[in-house]
């Protein structure tokens, strides 16, 4: 089976700015694939090239093996759910949803049947005769989805479709989108700047920055094994402990920071001794205890607690190592609700520690 | 809220408002009232009659002039609306060399004195006719055709201004959405763009139609012998003698233009809600 979408060294420039810089991607059939990155990273331009609203300046785009790099949008079997929904204000909900079929000159009876099916799919069966402006944001979003899906596209493109919804509705729609994708089995390419959304919904994620793809992988791979500082920083929260490599052996590397901390972390590459590197340590992967942990722990430092933020499910602490360095560490509040003494107080002393494989050494 | 007795300032304000309204509308009311007077000079009220309307419909010159005017207004509006809409699209959608210059040129007919425009058109026709005579050996004459060309020339700018306003507020993503759903550029225009900017186009057309209908100066300069248009014809008759027939004609035109305005508002409101 040919991949649903293949980008081969696609480049898009606007004036002097390279919005998409030599991007190559292969997206499998039926995959839920996310393009994730901060605004201006080129994710939307990449999506618009797949939709046909922009043509690549170099490179090519293939849809199930056929080049569509210069095919106009109306001849691509690809449909888009727009960020602003872009519903036609002068057409009813049914008119909007049936528009694609009308353009394909599908017979009216067949069209009506499929519009009814699509309305049921997005749970808006009784809304066919309404006007778009009579619907709530969430309902408009579902109309936009039905309008795209009714054409049975080979690939569905979604441009931050949940961006305009409030938090609660957003979570609901995330679930609904995911369920729908599993049901219709169509490849979804989803653009978002919301890393949590990307992590929870995607089969795979491409993290983009400055027009380039930095890393492609499953949500776990992206979060647990980021391949560079930007990805580690953009996805989730992390501490960076900068220093120079002082030892490097199978699966591990040791770095020494300017203030003299010696930290061992996981590394899947062998790194040059003396080169600058950083250890990315996620706040939930370190532990804070009053006593020295038992056994041989690779990284263990005496600390004092600087700040404590209780946020319900977690307690988030900023602890100090030495005089200058602070590290963020999160502790899950999984103790008894009555055990009030169990929480850390600012000023308390303790030990911050984590096994070598809980921190990741990234070359600069 | 309780109504307060107006103080001196409030009283003055009401007086001012009333005086302004009288100033604006009294002449029109008098005009309409005297279209029904039996006084043959139309300056005194001597009793109610419909005879001036009757005579109006028997005045073949006036009826002919009215039909000519309607014909000119209709044809020139259609042409100006089509060209003006295309121009508005070009100006709004594309960046091209000389766009700023064209923009300035487009506003010239709106701001220059009409007499200058009229003389310019007259000069243009004289020159064009001379060239046609020299090359083809036929000399065209001024008539309905020249009036139509002149009216197209001065109404296009107004159409462009009105249509551009509705194009400015048009959401381009709707066209992308249509293309995305399989509509080719022509289908996109027909099903999405045109219906959504139609109120603006109709607004522009009605403005052009009204301007053409009551234009005197340009019409006067570009019409030919034997071709009479309403404003010029009315002027000719009034110069001889004012009869309530002219009042009757004005009243009918007033009714027609009010109807047109209401119709256009109705169409535009439907355009918004539909």
Confidence class of residue B274 from pLDDT cuts 50, 70 and 90? very low
Class in CATH terms, A237-363: mainly beta
Query: What does the H/E/C string look like for chain B?
Result: CCCCCCCHHHHHHHHHHHHHHHHHHHHHHHHHHHHHECCCCCCCCCCECCHHHHHHHHCHHHHHHHHHHHHHHHHHHHHHHHHHHHHHHHHHHCCCCCHHHHHHHHHHHHHCCHHHHHHHHHHHHHHHHHHHHHHHCCCCCCCHHHHHHHHHHHHHHHHHHHHHHHHHCCCHHHHHHHHHCCCCHHHHHHHHHHHHHHHHHHHHHHHHHHHHHCCCHHHHHHCCCCCCCHHHHHHHHHHHCCCHHHHHHHHHHHHHHHHHHHHHHHHHHHHHHC
Average pLDDT over residues B53-57: 88
What share of chain B in percent tops pLDDT 70? 95
pLDDT higher than 70, residue A340:
no
**Closest-CA residue to A61 (of A74, A47, A75):** A47
pLDDT higher than 70, residue B1:
no
Q: How far is A65 from chain B (nearest CA, A)?
A: 20
Which stretch of B8-17, B151-160, B173-182, B261-270 has the lowest confidence by average pLDDT? B261-270
Contact A88 B184 (CB under 8 A): no
Query: How much is the pLDDT for B272?
Result: 52
- Residue A317 dihedral angles phi and psi, to the nearest 5°: -125, 150
Confidence class of residue B42 from pLDDT cuts 50, 70 and 90? confident
CA–centroid distance for A168 within its chain: 19
B270 at A interface, C-beta within 8 A: no
Average pLDDT over residues B203-212: 89
Query: How much is the pLDDT for A255?
Result: 93
What is the third-level CATH fold of A5-232?
Rossmann fold (3.40.50)
Instruction: Give the residue ranges of DSSP H helices in A22-107.
Output: 43-51, 93-103
- Interface confidence (ipTM) of the complex: 0.84
Q: Domain extents for chain A?
A: 5-232, 237-363
Mean pLDDT of chain A: 91
Q: Domains plus CATH for chain B?
A: 62-238+255-273 (1.10.3720.10)
Beta A5-14 vs A58-63: how paired, if at all?
antiparallel
Contact B180 A89 (CB under 8 A): no
Mean pLDDT of chain B: 88
B186 at A interface, C-beta within 8 A: no
Cβ within 8 Å of residue B229, ≥6 positions away: B65, B68, B69, B72, B147, B219, B223
Q: Tell which of B177, B271, B274 to mutate to test the A interface (max A CBs under 10 Å).
A: B177
CB atoms closer than 10 angstroms to residue A260? 8
Minimum-distance CB partner of A86 among B173, B184, B271: B173
pLDDT higher than 60, residue B128:
yes
């Amino acid at each position: 089976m040919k991949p649903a979408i293949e980008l081969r060294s696609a480049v898009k420039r606007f004036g002097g700015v390279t919005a998409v810089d030599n991007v190559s991607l292969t997206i499998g059939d039926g995959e839920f694939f996310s393009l994730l990155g901060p605004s201006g990273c080129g994710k939307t331009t990449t999506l618009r090239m797949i939709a046909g609203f922009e043509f690549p300046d170099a490179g090519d785009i293939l849809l199930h093996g056929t080049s569509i790099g210069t095919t106009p949008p109306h001849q691509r079997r690809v449909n888009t759910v727009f960020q602003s929904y872009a519903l036609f204000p002068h057409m009813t909900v049914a008119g909007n949803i049936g528009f694609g079929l009308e353009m394909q000159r599908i017979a009216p009876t067949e069209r009506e049947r499929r519009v009814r099916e699509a309305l049921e799919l997005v749970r808006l069966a009784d809304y066919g005769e309404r006007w778009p402006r009579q619907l709530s944001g969430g309902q408009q979003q579902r109309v936009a989805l039905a309008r795209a899906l009714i054409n049975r596209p080979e690939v569905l493109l979604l441009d931050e479709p949940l961006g305009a919804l409030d938090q609660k509705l957003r979570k609901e729609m995330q679930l609904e989108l995911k369920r729908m994708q599993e049901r219709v089995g169509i490849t979804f390419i989803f653009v978002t700047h919301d890393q949590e959304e990307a992590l929870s919904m995607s089969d795979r994620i491409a993290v983009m920055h400055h027009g380039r793809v930095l890393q492609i992988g499953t949500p776990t791979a992206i979060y647990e094994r980021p391949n560079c500082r930007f990805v580690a920083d953009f996805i989730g929260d992390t501490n960076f402990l900068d220093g120079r490599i002082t030892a490097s052996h199978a699966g591990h590397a040791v770095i020494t920071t300017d203030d003299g901390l010696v930290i061992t972390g996981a590394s899947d590459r062998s790194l040059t001794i003396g080169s600058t590197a950083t250890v990315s340590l996620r706040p939930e992967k370190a532990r804070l205890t009053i006593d020295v942990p038992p056994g041989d722990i690779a990284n263990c430092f005496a600390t004092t607690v600087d700040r404590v933020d209780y946020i319900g499910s977690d307690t988030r602490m900023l602890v100090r190592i030495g005089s200058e360095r602070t590290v963020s560490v999160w502790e899950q509040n999984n103790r008894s609700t009555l055990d009030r003494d169990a929480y850390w107080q600012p000023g308390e002393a303790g030990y911050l520690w984590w096994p070598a494989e809980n921190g990741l050494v990234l070359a600069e | 809220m309780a109504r307060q007795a107006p103080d001196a300032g409030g009283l003055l304000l009401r007086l001012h408002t009333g005086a302004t309204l009288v100033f604006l509308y009294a002449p029109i009311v008098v005009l309409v009232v005297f279209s029904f007077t039996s006084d043959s000079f139309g300056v005194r009220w001597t009793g109610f009659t419909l005879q001036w309307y009757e005579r109006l419909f028997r005045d073949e010159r006036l009826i002919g002039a009215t039909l000519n005017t309607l014909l000119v207004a209709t044809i020139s509006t259609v042409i100006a609306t089509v060209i003006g809409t295309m121009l508005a699209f070009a100006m709004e959608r594309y960046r091209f060399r000389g766009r700023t210059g064209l923009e300035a040129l487009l506003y010239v007919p709106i701001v220059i004195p009409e007499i200058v425009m009229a003389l310019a058109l007259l000069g243009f026709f004289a020159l064009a006719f001379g060239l046609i005579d020299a090359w083809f050996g036929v000399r065209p004459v001024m008539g309905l055709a020249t009036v139509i060309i002149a009216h197209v020339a001065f109404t296009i700018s107004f159409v462009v201004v009105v249509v551009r306003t509705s194009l400015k507020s048009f959401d381009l993503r709707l066209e992308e959405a249509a293309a995305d759903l399989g509509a080719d550029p022509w289908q996109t225009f027909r099903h999405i763009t045109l219906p959504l900017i139609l109120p603006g186009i109709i607004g522009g057309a009605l403005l052009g139609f009204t301007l053409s209908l009551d234009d005197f100066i340009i019409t006067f300069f570009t019409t030919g012998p034997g071709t009479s248009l309403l404003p010029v014809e009315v002027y000719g008759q009034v110069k001889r003698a004012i009869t309530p027939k002219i009042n009757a004609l004005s009243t009918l035109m007033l009714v027609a233009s009010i109807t047109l305005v209401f119709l256009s508002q109705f169409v535009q409101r439907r355009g918004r809600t539909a």
